[in-house]
Chains A and B, each alone.
Chain A
Amino acid sequence: MSAWEDARVPESARLGSPSLGERLEAIWGDGPGLRGWIASVDHKEIGKRYIVTAFAFLVLGGLEAVAIRAQLAGPDLRLLSPEAYDQLFTMHGVTMIFLYAGPILSGFANFLWPLLLGSRDMAFPRLNALSYWVYIAAGLFMYAGFVVGRGPDDGWFNYVPYASREFDPGINIDIYALGLILLGISTTVGSANFVVTFLRTRCPGMSINRVPILTWGTLTASVGNLLAVPSVSLAFFLLWMDRQFGTHFYDTAQGQPLLWQHLFWMFGHPWVYAIVLPAMGMVSDGLPTFCRRPLVGYTPVALATVTTMALGFGVWVHHMFATGLPSLALSFFSGASIVIVIPSAVAVFAWTATIWTGRPVITTAFLFFAGMIVLFVIGGVSGFMTAAAPLDWQLTDTYFVVAHLHYVLIGINVFPVAGGLYYWFPKITGRMLDERLGRWNFWTMFAGFNIAFLPMHLLGVLGMPRRVYTYPAGMGWSATNLAISLGAVLFAIGVLLLFVNVWLSLRRGAPAGDNPWDAPTLEWATSSPPPAYNFAVIPSVASRHPLWEERLGESEGRSRLDEGLLLDRGRETIGTTPLDAEPDLILEMPADTAAPFILAVGLAILFTGAAGHWWWASGGGVAVIAIALLMWFWPRRVHADEPAEPAHG
């Protein structure tokens, strides 16, 4: 292409030349056929795969939930065997928390980030592909046991000593242990990618006080993941060692079973924030568009996002109030858990004020975002209640906690995601989702959800323990349980309507145009769906709302969307400084490659071998990994006189 050069002044260009798009398309487009599909490192392609896969797991987890609710619909039912029930409620938790809630947000973030930031791809496109392939490998790995009736069966929290070999001798727990370590690799590389992308690839002018809140949410979640995921990977690795190699980490005689709970929840609580903060960011960015005004309190909301995660590292013991810890520890963690209410409330008040002072346009997306606020408040209050140790002693391990966690996870994850899908579906596909079906979709989900989960608070107060297989008649729980099960079915129908809407709208939805909602941020400045290169010229921004500047008049300068850096000598985008986003580097982006896919296959073989003690297979997996890494890092020599640079990303 070009002779090797060490530095250059990047050319600028004005939009309008039709040949420019063709040239960039040739540089950035995916190759043909299955090979091109596997080798793609386009963040939009990877984002879509993440979203589709995560929704597939949502369906699986939902079907498991329906089976659980059928079993619990009446007293003394025997629809399922106790063994099947154990696996179902475990896989329901594992699926929803690990295979749906986190990855769906990664999917949206992957698709949206470079568009929001005015860039052409993530900082490490190949790492992005690796993250996806390892995610799906881990999902299949964990489901492999379930399909043959040997799935994880000790709850997603997997407490020892129940999960030790003595009490759970099958391969069930080993599959969970290894599968989650595998998934941890995906989460970690994905998180590192988001952090570096945030710091280094924002378009010129997008200083950190101008980025969309969604990126604050994902950034915070990613930093949290980098620090927290090793804890759960280690917890499961030590458990696997205990089960397979006779170590003594968790046994009661020589080790300490509570070590499991500490390691698990030191990860578990930050993870809760990792799977809600980006979703809260979706609301913070989407809701103002429909209120026809900027978000109230951008800076407090951004700071509250970070504060929530920081505090989130100091509250894990509130999952362990009933384990007999000293009262000093209980007081500290109880206090810390109560303090988290403050940053959470900042977001709630900011959204409410945005609606209050705006001119709301009631679309389906708006309904989902506004509905989320209601559910968040209910889930937040029940969380605040159980942060008080004495009340927690009364309510722990009852259905009250089940109600709380579903209000939090469905309320702050599923509802914003559904709203986000209505909001960004036009950008992703070029077509609008149907609004009339959307109303049915929202109200069915909202009604079904509350019928299913509001009465669980009452069941908990009445003393019904969670995780039980069945319950006797005459406890006063039967009618409530039936109502809950019917609500769960209604909720499932509501989710089904979402997919029906997607199915129909993909075929005959109204064409969207670039900016159907008249939204303010950069992703709406390019076509729907966006071209492979995102932006023909790199935009430069002067405010938080580049597309609303004329009417807001809040900024001194003007963002430039039709004129900017060209960067067309190969796959290039601009690298900028971490705080002020001033250009300081021309980033050379990697070409499509199958190396991430091969690396993921190698990892899957390695872990499968470890699960079955087929060490020869594990050795083969390591060989495949080595080949993939060689492909990945082999220094590229583009020009004869150029010192080659081992590729990154």
Chain B
Amino acid sequence: MAEATYRGEALPVGARGRNSVGWWGVLCLIATEASLFAYLLFSYYFMAVQRGAAWSPDPHPTMKLAGPNTIILLLSSGAAWWGEQGAKQGRRGRQLLGLGLAIGLGLVFLIVQGFEWKAKKYSVSSSSYGSLYFTITGFHMAHVVVGLLMLMAVWIWSAMGLFNPRRHAPVSLSALYWHFVDVVWLTVFFSFYLSPYLMW
């Protein structure tokens, strides 16, 4: 009776990497979240164009903290990728170290962002520029926190030995989300720290 309609090879059961529905679900999540940041940055540029050069703080925002912090976040992305490679190869030490490094660097990013916020002379309610700055970076920090929580859960599950080279979809999914959070930061960084030099 078997193989009356199906004559192919054995099919994987459940989720496996990019084959899983979870992978596609996270892509949908990223699409809608990327749209959210597109609309946030649209609001920033719209206000900038409508309000003109005097609207942006003078001098242009300093990159003293944000510049190195950007590099920290990129390194964190690299560490997450390295950890994911470890999961694929079944090298749990590399998996734990990579994910752990990604989490640590992400925490450093958050702390530096906290200092950056403290150093600003304006607040969320002092001007529309301040409203946009704190709202957009705040949205991004919220996403960093969510990404970190995902990475931490996956780190614990990794330490418990719940994954193997064939079954590690959550590692890939949280790494994917983490890369997304980092790419979003690049657009935020460009908008607040670099674009003023281009616009004005």
Contacts and interface: CB of A to CB of B under 8 A. Distances in A.
B8 to A, nearest CB: 6
Nearest to B46: A259
A249 interface: yes
Interface string A637-649: 0000001111011
B21 A196 contact: yes
Interface residues of A, number: 67
Interface centre among B28, B36, B40 (most CB of A within 10 A): B28
B131 A248 contact: yes
Contacts, number: 182
A6 B47 contact: no
B32 A188 contact: yes
A9 B1 contact: no
A238 B135 contact: yes
A563 interface: yes
B135 A575 contact: no
A643 B164 contact: yes
Contacts of B163: 643
Contacts of B170: 645-646
Given A12-B6, A238-B135, A6 B13 contact: yes
Chain B contact patch, size range:
35 or more
Given A7-B11, A14-B1, A262-B46, A191 B28 contact: yes
A586 to B, nearest CB: 5
Interface in B92-129: 124-125, 127-128
Interface in A234-282: 234, 238, 241, 245-249, 251, 254-256, 258-259, 262-263, 266
Nearest to B50: A256
B20 A648 contact: yes
Given A11-B2, A226-B31, A123 B13 contact: no
B129 to A, nearest CB: 9
B66 interface: no
Nearest to A12: B4
B4 A586 contact: no
Contacts of A199: 24
B13 A226 contact: no
Interface in B12-26: 12-16, 19-22, 24-25
Nearest to B154: A646
Given A228-B35, A229-B32, A259 B9 contact: no
A227 B12 contact: no
A149 interface: no
A648 B14 CA distance: 10
A238 B179 CA distance: 27
Contact of B11 (A14, A247, A586, A633): A586
Contacts of A247: 124-125, 128, 131, 135
Contacts of B21: 123-124, 196, 200-201, 575, 587, 648-649
A143 to B, nearest CB: 26
A13 interface: yes
B176 to A, nearest CB: 14
A591 interface: no
Nearest to B20: A648
B43 interface: yes
B131 A645 contact: no
Interface of B: 1-6, 8-16, 19-22, 24-25, 28-29, 31-33, 35-36, 39-40, 42-43, 46-47, 50-51, 124-125, 127-128, 130-132, 135, 153, 157, 161-164, 166-167, 169-170
27 contacts: A9-B2, A10-B11, A12-B5, A12-B6, A14-B1, A127-B25, A226-B28, A228-B35, A229-B32, A230-B33, A230-B35, A247-B124, A248-B127, A248-B131, A254-B127, A258-B50, A259-B47, A263-B43, A563-B4, A585-B16, A586-B12, A587-B14, A588-B14, A635-B157, A644-B162, A645-B15, A648-B20
Across the A-B interface, the 10 shortest Cβ-Cβ residue pairs:
A192-B28, A230-B36, A246-B125, A247-B131, A648-B22, A248-B128, A12-B4, A7-B10, A226-B32, A196-B24
Given A585-B20, A643-B164, A645-B170, 11 more contacts: A9-B3, A13-B4, A127-B25, A191-B28, A234-B40, A247-B131, A249-B43, A249-B131, A584-B11, A586-B14, A635-B162
